[in-house]
Every structure is written in C-alpha cells, then in structure tokens.
C-alpha cells in the first residue's frame, strides 16, 4: 500500500470514528468539528509524507499521476473524470449550503447542571434519613413533583409533555446521582427561575417551591427522590 | 501502467469519503419549529380559508399548567396543531385543537418575547440571576370579537396595550377529529400467584408504569387565526424578521361550565407549552445560486491549473 493510500485510509478511518464511533459514548459532533478533525489529519499526513524526497514522491506521486491521468484506463479513467467533476460541484454545493438561510433554530448550549450559588454548596441534609421521613418524602413527591417527574421518578409524568426542556429523569445515572443533596435543595427551593444564564432559566417549568414548601419538606423530598430512583447522592468522601 | 491500481483505489476511497460526507446529516436538534410559509397576496384572516390546507402543521403537546399556583392537573386540550403564513408584511398563525364543547369562555393565546432580553415563558416572571424582559401575549376568547394585545413581566402584571395591533377569529365545528396523546397508568405489580409485590426494604407496594399512546375520536374542533403586522411601531410589541427564529409559546383554556358553576379552566388553570420556535420563511435570495455557480467555476479553474502543472511535470 502506497503512502497516499495509507493517508486516504487514515482519513476515512478518522471520519468514521468521529462521525459514528464517538456518538456511541458522547454527544454527536457537529459537521464543523468533524471537518476540523479531517483538516488536522490531512495536515499531519502531509507533514509526515513530506519529511523526505522519497516520502514526498510516495505521498504525492500517486495523487499527481491520478490527477494527470497518467497510465489510467478503463474504470480508473472514469473514476478520475468523476472526481474532477464532483470536486467543483461539491465546492459549489458547500458554498450554497453556507449561504442559504438555515432551517434549523440556533443551537441551544444549555448547561443542564450549572454551578449553584455559593450559599447552596456543601449543605448537609438536616433531616435524619429514617424510613418514616423517606415515606413522608415520597408522599410529598407524589403530591408536588410526580405530575412532571413521574410516579416512577423517570421524568415521564402526565404533565411533562409540553415542556422544553423536559423534566429530569432521576433514574438516569446522569442526573441526581451526579449531584449532592445540597444541589437538589437549591434546584427545588429556587426552581427554574433560580438558574444562572447557562441554565436557560426562561425555559424551565420547575416551580420555585420556596414560596410553597418549608425547607424540611424539601429535604424529605430529596431523600425520597434518591430512595425512589435507586440512586445515591454524590459525596466527596 | 504504473499508478493505475493505486489510482483506482484512491478514487474509490475519495468517492466513499465524498459519499459519506454528502449523505451525512447535519447535527439535528430535537426542537420543534413552526414553519411560517411565505405566500403571495393577503394573509388569510379566516380559519377556514382553503390556503391553510396547503400549509404543513406542526404539532405541540400541551401540559397542564403546574408551574405556579393556581395549578391544574388535567386539561382538555392535549396537543395543538399550528400553521403559519406571512407575506413579508403580515403574519398569520392558525391554531387547531380538539375541544368537544363550544363555550363562551373557550380561549387561546400566543406568547412572544419582547426585545432582546430573554423572558420567562410564564408571563415573563423575574429570574434570580438573569435580567429578563417582558412578554407580548395575543389572547383570543370565543365570546369576544378580535383579540387582546397584552404585555406581562411577572405574575399579576398582565395588561392590555394602549395600541391594539392583533386581529383574531375563531371557528368551532362539530367535526370529528382524532386526538393522540400519551396515557400513563400505574399498575400494581403482582407475582405469579396474583399477590401484590412489595419493596423488600420499605414494604411499599410496587407498581409498573404503563405508558401508551392513546388515540381518541373527539367531536369538536376549534380553529383560531391570529394576524398581525410582522413589525409594528409599538415598542411593547414583539417584532419579527423573516429568516430569524423567535420564541413562541401557546396556551389554551377549555371554558366549559361545570355543574358547580366554575369554569373547567380559567386564569392560570390552562393547557400550556414552554418556549418553542417559529421561523418566517425569508424571500428567496437568488444571489445565493450565483455565488454557488462562481464557486464551481473557481474550483474547476483551480483544478485545471493543477492538472496542467502536473502534466508539465511541475508539482503544483
């Protein structure tokens, strides 16, 4: 396999990994970032391939011969023609795509768990974690929280459908299992309107429960949310 | 023949890459947008105008208003279908939803942010760490001709504007329509012997949640059209530019009178959505096609120069 072929294989492999591989473990990457990775890979290939005269010939020789049509016949000739026609068309399409008004709304870079205010960091739950308190917390959760967060703590309550963003799914290990009890206390007490700008408070339907519920009830609800969802609060120990 | 096999393979790889990139979808967002189509002529003020049948609808699920007191847990309208058209001067939204009874207090509203500041979807209520702006609410009620053009910036601040710029008209028909919504039920979990299963730690009875999409046939549909100029001279109004993505939210009240004499839904007890988007289709800019064509010509020219140099034995 020539160096040019190896470079081409590497480019395709990088594309497949960032386009289809990474989304298996993280959020899908935007095409702009994928293009950046492909560009950086191409730069790396060119730098590596031009370290010596021999490697330069190994890298660029097949490309120049392909572009020049030297020694090509049959399907290779047709392939060259196709590439020469496709490249300008792709450039034209890309230009058109960049200029045409977008049909997608602006990207929403909402931070799901923004930093809480200082006074809510590291607070300990003052309510003893007893079966009675958890039971009372479940009753409060059922009365005040389950219409949105669901009777099974999965964010699938009957009032959840019209809200964007949807209510949190506490069973998901990416939500309350990643947070301390004091964080939940802040979120429940101050509600969606208590979020900072990164949390897009103008969209949140989470009520500001401090105007309706005493702190003790909120702490009990927090215990119920962990118990009912099978999660444990995050600790630093 | 040197170079031919690697040339074919190189072409195949290039073609595969091009194909993958060509077919690669852009990063999509799970965001619902009302596509407001650009039309020629006047925008329809009649909810039954035939042009509405040619405009695609966007459906939004509705939630009972549980964000602030006085709450409600069950609402009549489970979803709303929205269509929009504009003619670069005026914009019209058609709301369509199933409501089995025609009542004087049936009502619907649209909500928008005013100005550049973000406003909370619940009447622009104050936010602790963000300076919010007001909202502009267009309100229609079936027993009142026209619409009310209002502002709010916090609960209890809803106020009719001095300058009324919005028109609205609603038509109720006793036609049959199918309504689809999610229904959730908690089913007590039972063992093989039919006995209730309890949590071994707490002793609580365990339940399985069953969620299914239910389709019901409802007789009775409201179609309500709101019309306003895209831009107005009133600084209290939301202003719209084609091609942008302003936020929009919806609210619906079933004004059915209960046996107690109370209305089924009124005031803060209503079906709501939080913010979504609408996009007024911009007029076609034909220069875009010209710029694309110029790009094709320039790329072909660069290709020509490179190939010419390669054929002369001078690396480009």
**Does B306 contact A at CB distance below 8 Å?**
yes
The total domain count for chain A is 2
Residues A79 and A123 in one domain: no
Range of lowest pLDDT (A212-216, B36-40, B136-140, B190-194): B190-194
Question: How many beta-carbon pairs below 8 A join chains A and B?
Answer: 252
B190 part of a folded domain: no
Burial B271-284 (b: 16+ CB within 10 A, else e): bbbbbbbbbbbeee
- Which of A159, A194, A206, A227 is the best mutation test for B, with the most CBs of B within 10 A? A159
CB distance B293–A147 less than 8 Å? Answer: no
Q: Is the pLDDT assigned to residue B103 strictly greater than 70? A: yes
B85 part of a folded domain: yes
What is the reported pLDDT for B116? 95
What is the reported pLDDT for B233? 96
CA A115 vs CA A182, A201, B96, B119, B129: distances in Å:
12, 13, 41, 21, 12
Higher pLDDT, B11 or B118: B118
B263 part of a folded domain: yes
Higher pLDDT, B174 or A66: B174
A234 part of a folded domain: no
Q: Which of residues 131-170 of A touch B (CB under 8 A)?
A: 131, 134-135, 138, 147-148, 150-152, 154, 156-164
Residues A124 and A74 in one domain: no
Higher pLDDT, A7 or B256: B256
The whole domain housing B300 covers: 292-316
Residues B171 and B309 in one domain: no
What is the reported pLDDT for B9? 53
Residues A89 and A186 in one domain: no
A87 part of a folded domain: yes
Range of lowest pLDDT (B38-47, B59-68, B189-198): B189-198
Q: Which tens digits make up the pLDDT trace of B6-62? A: 555 555 555 545 444 444 333 333 458 999 999 999 999 999 999 999 999 999 999
CB distance B186–A108 less than 8 Å? Answer: no
What is the reported pLDDT for B23? 42
CB distance B13–A82 less than 8 Å? Answer: no
A17 part of a folded domain: yes
- Which chain B positions have a beta carbon within 8 Å of A66's beta carbon? 3, 6-7, 10-11
Higher pLDDT, B87 or B212: B87
- Which chain A positions have a beta carbon within 8 Å of B184's beta carbon? 150-151, 156-158
- Which chain A positions have a beta carbon within 8 Å of B29's beta carbon? 104-105, 107-108
- Which chain A positions have a beta carbon within 8 Å of B285's beta carbon? 99, 101
Q: Which of residues 114-143 of B touch A (CB under 8 A)?
A: 118-122, 125-130, 132
Q: Which helix (H) or strand (E) holds B138?
A: strand B135-141
Residues A159 and A209 in one domain: yes
CB distance A62–B3 less than 8 Å? Answer: yes
A44 part of a folded domain: yes
The whole domain housing A125 covers: 118-229
Distance (Å, rounded) from C-alpha B225 to C-alpha B34?
14
Which residues are paired to B280 by β-bridges? Answer: B36
What CATH number should be reported for the domain holding residue B258? 2.60.40.1190
The total domain count for chain B is 2
Percent of chain B with pLDDT strictly greater than 90: 73
Residues B306 and B256 in one domain: no
What is the reported pLDDT for B227? 98
- Nearest Cβ partner of B310 from A64, A82, A207? A64
Residues B167 and B305 in one domain: no
Give the domain-ending residue among A71, A99, A127. Answer: A99
Residues A129 and A224 in one domain: yes
Q: Which of residues 170-189 of A touch B (CB under 8 A)?
A: none
Of A223, A231, A151, A170, residue with least CA distance to B189: A151
Residues A124 and A224 in one domain: yes
Distance (Å, rounded) from C-alpha A188 to C-alpha A219?
9
Residues B223 and B314 in one domain: no
ipTM of the complex: 0.80
Phi-psi region of A155 (alpha: psi -120 to 50; beta: other; left: phi over 0): left
- HEC secondary structure over chain A: CCHHHHHHHHHHHHHHHHHHHHHHCCCCCCHHHHHHHHHHHHHHHHHHHCCCHHHHHHHHHHHHHHHHCCCCCHHHHHHHHHHHHHHHHHHHHHHHHHHCCCCCCCCCCCCCCCCCCHHHCCCCCCCCCCHHHHHHHHHHHHHHHHHHHCCCCCCCCCCCCCCCCCCCCCCCCCCHHHCCHHHHHHHHHHCHHHCCHHHCHHHCCCCCHHHCCCHHHHHHHHHHHHHHHCCCCCCCC
What CATH number should be reported for the domain holding residue A146? 1.10.760.10
Residues A81 and A170 in one domain: no
A46 part of a folded domain: yes
A162 part of a folded domain: yes
Q: Which tens digits make up the pLDDT trace of B122-132? A: 999 999 999 99
**Does A73 contact B at CB distance below 8 Å?**
yes
Strand pairing class (B79-86; B33-38): parallel
- Nearest Cβ partner of A8 from B8, B10, B295? B10
- Is the peptide bond preceding residue A115 cis, with omega within 30 degrees of 0? no
3-state secondary structure of B161: coil
Residues A58 and A145 in one domain: no
What is the reported pLDDT for B287? 92
Distance (Å, rounded) from C-alpha A61 to C-alpha A4?
8
Q: What is the mean pLDDT of chain B?
A: 88
B151 part of a folded domain: yes
Residues B250 and B316 in one domain: no
What is the reported pLDDT for B30? 42
CB distance A11–B127 less than 8 Å? Answer: no
B126 part of a folded domain: yes
- Nearest Cβ partner of A131 from B202, B296, B297? B202
Distance (Å, rounded) from C-alpha A150 to C-alpha A139?
13
CA B310 vs CA A18, B11, B158, B190, B316: distances in Å:
33, 17, 73, 78, 7
B92 part of a folded domain: yes
What is the reported pLDDT for B29? 31
Give the domain-ending residue among A99, A131, A151. Answer: A99
**Does B275 contact A at CB distance below 8 Å?**
yes
A110 part of a folded domain: no
What is the reported pLDDT for B2? 39
Residues B82 and B132 in one domain: yes
Contact A41, A35 (CB under 8 A): no
B5 part of a folded domain: no
CA B302 vs CA A87, A152, B306: distances in Å:
11, 62, 6
**Does A50 contact B at CB distance below 8 Å?**
no
Residues A181 and A90 in one domain: no
CB distance B207–A75 less than 8 Å? Answer: no
- Which of B1, B12, B14, B248 is the best mutation test for A, with the most CBs of A within 10 A? B14
**Does B73 contact A at CB distance below 8 Å?**
yes
Q: Which tens digits make up the pLDDT trace of A57-87? A: 888 888 888 888 877 888 888 988 999 999 9
| Other beta carbons less than 10 A from residue B236's beta carbon | 17
**Does B284 contact A at CB distance below 8 Å?**
no
What is the reported pLDDT for A77? 87
Residues A84 and A130 in one domain: no
3-state secondary structure of B204: coil
Burial classification of residue B89, based on how many CB atoms lie within 10 Å of its CB (0-12 exposed, 13-18 middle, 19 or more buried):
exposed
Distance (Å, rounded) from C-alpha B8 to C-alpha B10?
5
CB distance B73–A92 less than 8 Å? Answer: no
Residues near B268 by Cβ (< 8 Å), separated by ≥ 6?
Answer: B65, B68, B69, B70, B71, B72
Residues B248 and B302 in one domain: no
What is the reported pLDDT for B200? 76
Residues B304 and B233 in one domain: no
**Does B195 contact A at CB distance below 8 Å?**
no
CB distance A193–B125 less than 8 Å? Answer: yes
Burial A186-198 (b: 16+ CB within 10 A, else e): bbbbbbbbbbbee
- Which whole number is the average pLDDT over B142-165? 96
A18 part of a folded domain: yes
Residues B168 and B297 in one domain: no
Residues B235 and B307 in one domain: no
Contact B52, B39 (CB under 8 A): no
**Does B214 contact A at CB distance below 8 Å?**
no
Residues A81 and A138 in one domain: no
- Is the peptide bond preceding residue B60 cis, with omega within 30 degrees of 0? no
Q: Is the pLDDT assigned to residue B136 strictly greater than 90? A: yes
CB distance A163–B28 less than 8 Å? Answer: no
Low-confidence ranges of chain A (pLDDT < 70): 236-237
**Does A84 contact B at CB distance below 8 Å?**
yes
Residues B170 and B306 in one domain: no
B180 part of a folded domain: no
Higher pLDDT, B316 or A223: A223
Residues A69 and A154 in one domain: no
CB distance A5–B10 less than 8 Å? Answer: yes
Give the domain-ending residue among A47, A65, A99. Answer: A99
């Amino acid at each position: 396999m020539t160096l040019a072929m190896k470079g081409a294989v590497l480019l395709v492999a990088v594309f497949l990994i960032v386009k289809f591989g990474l989304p298996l473990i993280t959020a899908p990457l935007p095409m702009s970032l994928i293009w950046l990775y492909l560009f950086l890979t191409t730069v790396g290939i060119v730098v590596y391939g031009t370290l010596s005269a021999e490697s330069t010939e190994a890298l660029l020789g097949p490309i120049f011969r392909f572009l020049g049509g030297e020694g090509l016949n049959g399907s290779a000739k047709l392939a060259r023609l196709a590439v020469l026609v496709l490249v300008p068309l792709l450039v034209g399409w890309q230009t058109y795509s960049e200029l045409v008004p977008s049909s997608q709304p602006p990207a929403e870079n909402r931070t799901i768990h923004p930093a809480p205010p200082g006074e809510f960091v590291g607070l300990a739950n003052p309510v003893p974690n007893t079966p009675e308190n958890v039971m009372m917390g479940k009753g409060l959760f059922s009365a005040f929280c389950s219409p949105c967060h669901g009777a099974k703590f999965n964010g699938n309550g009957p009032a959840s459908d019209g809200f964007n963003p949807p209510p949190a799914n506490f069973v998901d290990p990416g939500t309350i299992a990643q947070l301390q009890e004091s964080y939940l206390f802040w979120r429940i007490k101050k509600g969606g309107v208590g979020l900072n700008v990164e949390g897009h408070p103008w969209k949140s339907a989470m009520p500001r429960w401090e105007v309706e519920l005493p702190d003790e009830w909120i702490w009990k609800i927090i215990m119920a949310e962990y118990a009912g969802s099978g999660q444990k609060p995050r600790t630093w120990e | 023949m040197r170079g031919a096999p690697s040339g074919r393979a190189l072409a195949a790889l290039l073609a595969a890459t091009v194909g993958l990139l060509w077919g690669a979808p852009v990063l999509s967002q799970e965001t619902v947008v009302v596509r407001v189509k650009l039309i020629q002529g006047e925008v329809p003020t009649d909810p039954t105008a035939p042009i509405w049948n040619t405009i695609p609808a966007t459906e939004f699920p509705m939630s009972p208003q549980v964000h602030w007191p006085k709450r409600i847990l069950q609402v009549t309208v489970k979803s709303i279908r929205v269509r929009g058209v504009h003619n670069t001067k005026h914009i019209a939204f058609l709301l369509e939803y199933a409501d089995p009874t025609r009542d004087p207090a049936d009502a619907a509203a649209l909500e928008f942010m005013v100005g550049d500041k973000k406003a909370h979807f619940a009447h622009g209520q104050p936010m602790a760490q963000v300076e919010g702006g007001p909202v502009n609410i267009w309100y229609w009620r079936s027993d009142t001709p026209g619409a009310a053009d209002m502002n709010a910036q916090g609960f209890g601040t809803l106020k009719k504007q001095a300058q009324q710029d919005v028109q609205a008209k609603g038509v109720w028909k006793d036609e049959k329509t199918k309504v689809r919504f999610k229904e959730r039920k908690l089913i007590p979990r039972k063992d093989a012997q039919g006995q209730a299963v309890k949590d071994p730690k707490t002793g609580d009875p365990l339940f399985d949640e069953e969620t299914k999409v239910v389709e019901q046939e409802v007789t009775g549909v409201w179609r309500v059209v709101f019309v306003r100029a895209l831009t107005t001279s009133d600084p209290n109004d939301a202003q719209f530019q084609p091609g942008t993505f302003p936020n929009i939210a919806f609210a619906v009240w079933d004004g059915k009178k209960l046996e107690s004499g109370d209305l089924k839904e009124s005031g803060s007890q209503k079906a709501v959505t939080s913010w979504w988007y609408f996009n007024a289709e911009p007029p076609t800019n034909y220069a875009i096609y010209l710029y694309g064509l110029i790009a094709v010509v320039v790329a072909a020219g660069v290709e020509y120069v490179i190939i010419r140099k390669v054929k002369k034995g001078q690396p480009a």
